[in-house]
Amino acid sequence: MHTGACIIVWWGMVNKKTAFITGIAGQDGAYLAELLLDKGYEVHGLLRWDSYVDQRDGAGRLFDLDIVSEISLHMGDLTDAQSLTGIIKKIRPSEIYNLAALSQVGVSFDVPASTLDINVKGTLAVLEAVRLLDMVETTRIYQASSSEMFGCAPAPQNENTPMQPCSPYGASKLAAYWLARTYRDAYGLYAANGILFNHESPLRGEDFVTRKITRAVAKIYEGSGEPLILGNLDSVRDWGHARDYVRGMWMMLQQDEAQDFVLATGQSKTVREFVEKAFAHIDIEIEWRGFGVRQVGCDAKNDRVLVRINENLFRPKEVNYLLGDASKAREILGWHSSYDFNALVAEMVDEDIDLLQENTSLKDDGKCRKVG
């Protein structure tokens, strides 16, 4: 090898950046880990005990992306500040992406105290670790903030929109957002809040509405007779693709100074439109009949009921309308969303059909059969 090439390789080795991702086994954690590995980072991740003991299940997304062997996984919990500090002390990462959270808005109404423990005290533990370990000059932090913090504020929402959260989850994320800003202002910590609107993918958790829909549509395509049961069909979301959003997270940590950014597509759709689009992808036109919670979605060709509503799936308080304005991220970061809504829905339905065809599926008759 020429001397010049040797120097480049050596320079790359001594300057290899180290990232620590909390929530690495979640949707965003997995895609972010993949992106950072591609960029040559040494990637570490925090994994909870349950996920650690059964890694294939807990770290399933990292297996799906075939990156698990390239990552150092550390057993821990965001709510255990001492062990978290120990991990950060050992790794001394140049970048921390704090993605771990109780992230299901509906569930946060059932477990508000643990939502605050994980989302607020957990974030505080990350910020305090960096401060107490004297890493303020060397470590940058990305805080996973959320458009749910806008709550009932009028759309379109951007960085200057007053926040009015209306769920324990939204309130917890707003407290964590302010903690990150406070540590930035008080201690000079590089802490950037990404205020991200909904982003989805085939790796999305099955309890979020998009994946619930695409899984049900895939099952119906494969012959299931079970209708899709949903709650509020009329709430509006700004849905993008998670791959675009993790790229934005990384960009936020590469700036001269820490700032907060909204990431969004600027396109809004109702849950109802998502349902229609997903069924259209398997050539089924949904016709809505009836009103309120008695409304059903039927196959226009044969009247079969494919969608029903269950009022138990409505939340005590709903965020009705989220639509983001990501002009600041476009201007300063050069970030844009590259997937459109149709492509997102199509990819999710196709992947769920593939998944069903690859695996043994439990069919309606209760018998197991191998498909594909």
Q: Which of 71, 179, 271, 349 binds ligand G4F (CB under 6 A)?
A: 271
Confirm if 21 and 44 have CB atoms less than 8 A apart: yes
Partner interacting with residue 105 (select from ligand G4F, ligand NAP, none; CB below 5-8 Å by kind): ligand G4F
Residue whose C-alpha is closest to residue 271's, from 218, 220, 309, 225:
309
Give Cα separations from 138 to 19, 205, 260, 334 (angstroms). Answer: 12, 33, 19, 25
Shorter beta-carbon distance to ligand NAP: residue 139 or 146: 146
* Stretch near ligand G4F under the rule CB under 6 A, chosen from 9-17, 153-161, 206-214, 241-249: 206-214
In eight-state DSSP terms, residue 226 is P
Task: Using the structure block, give the residue that is written with the tokens 């533990």.
Answer: 125
When asked if residue 147 is in the footprint of ligand G4F (CB under 6 A), the reply is yes
What separation in angstroms does the CA of 69 have from each of 202, 216, 227, 370?
Answer: 21, 32, 39, 29
Residue nearest to ligand NAP (CB): 26
Q: Which does 100 bind (CB under 5 to 8 A by kind): ligand G4F, ligand NAP, none?
A: ligand NAP
Quick one: which of 315, 330, 336, 363 contacts ligand G4F (CB under 6 A)?
315
Q: Is 116 a residue that touches ligand G4F (CB under 6 A)?
A: no
Q: Among 313, 359, 317, 328, which Cα is nearest to 251's?
A: 328
Taking CB under 6 A as the rule, does residue 363 contact ligand G4F?
Answer: no
Minimum CB distance to ligand G4F smaller for 136 or for 319: 319
What is the binding site for ligand NAP (CB under 6 A)? Answer: 22-23, 25-29, 46, 48, 50-51, 58, 77-79, 99-103, 118, 122, 144, 146, 196, 198-199, 205
Q: For the chain, first and last CA: distance in Å?
A: 49
The first and second tokens of residue 165, run together, are 């959260």
Q: In angstroms, give the least distance from the CB of 210 to ligand G4F.
A: 6
d(CA 337, CA 335): 7
Q: Specify the DSSP element, H or E, that contains 249.
A: helix 242-252
Q: How far is the CB of 147 from ligand G4F (least distance, A)?
A: 4
Give me the residues that bind ligand G4F (CB under 6 A), please.
Answer: 103, 105-106, 146-148, 197-198, 207-210, 212, 230-232, 235, 237, 271, 313, 315, 318, 322
